[in-house]
Amino acid sequence: MFNNDFNKLETYIGEHCEPETDLLAELDRQTHLKILRPRMLSGHLQGRVLSMLSKMIAPRNIFEIGTFTGYSAICLSEGLQQEGRLITCDVNDELEDFTRGFIARSPAAGQIDFRITDARKLIRELDMMFDLVFIDGDKRQYPDYYELVLPYVREGGYIIADNVLWSEKVIDPSAQNDDYTKGVLVFNEMVTNDSRTENVIFPFRDGLMVARRKQVS
């Protein structure tokens, strides 16, 4: 009964959120048809949350770690300032053509810079400040990503990280021995105990950590 009620509630929530664009709906469908591990896609509800947060922040520069098939990048780009730029990167070159095809059809295509490279290398090369960073890459590297990107987040800027509940493994001691879960656990503790930021976890889907870099008075 609980699972049935939850599915009904999830359907209800989806019906009462801003709908996906035709492009995003097609991207979701094609990802599930053609790409391995389609659960990695942000999807309708999380996509609308990312879009709303981006519109609230109105970023000039966004950095995304982990592009997958481009769904979250397209959603985040909806809040960019007119002259803004979103730089997104992924290490999986097998999805490059698929992802580039959809990004090229998005309304903000000219503002999205998609690269196949390691984010830990790219962030140093860019040497620029960001208003918003979205972390959705290798969970084992979350602590490294955080320490690397924080100096490049402006005061008052935001870091958003996906999968911080990691299928509830973060509260299951018997499931905390693998490197992926350890990476998420260390990341969550780092952010929570970091005096440079304030944070909250949104407990929908697989958990979103939202951290704001404090302004130095």
Query: Are the C-beta atoms of 91 and 116 separated by less than 8 Å?
Result: yes
Confidence of residue 176 (pLDDT cuts 50, 70, 90): confident
Query: Residue 2's pLDDT is what?
Result: 53
Band (75; pLDDT cuts 50, 70, 90)? very high
CATH number of the CATH domain containing 105? 3.40.50.150
Distance (Å, whole) CA 144 – CA 140: 9
Please tell me the total count of domains within the chain: 1
Structure tokens belonging to residue 212? 């704001």
Residue range of the domain that includes 199 = 2-213
- Tokens in use for 13? 């929530």
The pTM for the full model equals: 0.95
Choose between 4 and 140: higher pLDDT: 140
Q: In this model, does residue 68 exceed pLDDT 60?
A: yes
Is-contact 190 146, C-beta < 8 A? yes
> Which residue has better confidence, 13 or 111?
111
> Which of 152, 130, 6, 9 minimizes the C-alpha distance to 59?
130
